[in-house]
Structure 1
Amino acid sequence: MTPNDTAKPPHSPIEYILNASCRAGIGIVAAVATFLAERDCYICALEQFDDDSTERFFMRAVFRLQASSPTIDAIGEQFGAGVAARLDMQWKIHDPTDAVKTVIMVSKDDHCLDDLLYRRRNGELNMSITAVVSNHLDLRPMVEREGIRFIFLPVMKENKAQQEARLLEVVEETRAELVILARYMQILSDELARRLAGRCINIHHSFLPGFKGAKPYHQAFDRGVKLIGATAHYVTPDLDEGPIIEQMVTRVDHNFKPEQLVRIGRDNECMALAGAVKFHIERRVFVHGNKTIVFRGP
């Protein structure tokens, strides 16, 4: 087993995650709960949300099989043909012990990458990093020490389309389900952003929607802000306008110089990005238009 592998725990009951959404109405929770109970499935946790503005219903249910339960494949087939079909439901059942195949993209800053690698090592993030892609060579030693493939794709105006095509090849070759922009200092093309919709998370070193563009902490200093933050969001063709997953803020005052704000900002960036990645991996996020529903616990 390599350091990048994640083994399933032996002899422990597997809990499955059911994510579902449909038009809001009466009896949805009862229909799902009854379906699982009739198949002797134990519901460990259930969260739901009705969006009154769009009349849309969202649910995340965690359940485990008992000795007399059908197989998970049979449960999926029966649910799809029954409850899901009747309610015109979008749904999927996930096995949370399956490590999420992930590509991380970086430039020169190492703090977000280092934090993600640490959290993966200690089991907090159940992901298998299939490759780290960078437009610089600075972080290659850090990546290769972890036994992870490092791919150097320098980006210039003349080769941007070619390098983005190569990136998509890497994603497809490795069957990556998630792409993380861990301070990747390049703007993705509209086409690439569309191709990665709903599976590409970016960390923005500001509390969106304020202070976009270059040197946000210096902008914040010039405005005398009392709060600084960082925002993790899904990438869309609209620059830094994608659905927000997680945000972190820190209170500051007039004593803080730009350099101090940058240091505090790094911590906010790490925490916001790690939180967003964890929510995504644990199937807690539903994208709904230009915003998200995030079920935070248990």
Structure 2
Amino acid sequence: MTTYNITLPNIPKALTVKELLEDHWLIPRKIRHFLRTKKHILVNNANVTWQTPVKAGDHITLIFDQEDYPEKSIPFGDRKQVDCLYEDEHLIIVNKPEGMKTHGNEPTEIALLNHVSAYVGLTCYVVHRLDMETSGAILFAKNPFVLPIINRLLETNQISRQYWALAEGTFPQEQLTYRDLIGRDRHDRRKRIVDSKHGQRAITHITRLKTFDKVTLLNCKLDTGRTHQIRVHLSHHRHALIGDPLYSKKAAQRLMLHAHQLSFTHPFTLEKITVKAESDSFEKGLQTTH
């Protein structure tokens, strides 16, 4: 059995228990059902009905047992490989190095998720992914309770992800937006392509930061999270990323793509979380490439 205790912050309006779980925290229907039928939600240590009002400062207790969230375990990695940028009871953000997978493809494969789980001391959950070649800020859930809540924030574009990218060529516009649909490459399973007929919605906002000799440093902000989205959009418009092993022929020490900032409003505290990640290898690549 696992218990979570949350003190309500200054919520924007008066809510019932039902509204808090369903509309404010976006807890999935199945889990709400368990909480209700088992009477596993308390307000200020007292049993409540679904229509009980709650207010700022109330102490909410949520109780989960094995049936609600079956235990999941993965092999622990090396906690020393984790560069932690932010951590609380429910979430952890780390600075992923380039050349490391976010998660393994096989149960015994060791990747960043395994290292983060070792650092936390329990199995964590992937919220979003970074390509193996990409470095920077990446978010993990520390329990299955918060995972669907954070996933909903991601799906509704309430988690802002910004990347630095060093791209081929120059950009006459300071700002532009790519909206090309992205689909799978039928000829190479590793790659994605712009597919105007069958592709998925993909939106990348580009801001020119600095122009060098034949290359440009960009800030890329994502509204969607398609596989290789920035890489595909830029290469499609003849601005492939420097060092991209799949979409560019120009070699570099690393793929010049780094997730430098992650920001969102914490679903439980309503605190604005903004985390910035540095990368020595990206900075070195920037100095030696142009």
TM-score of the pair, normalised by structure 2? 0.29
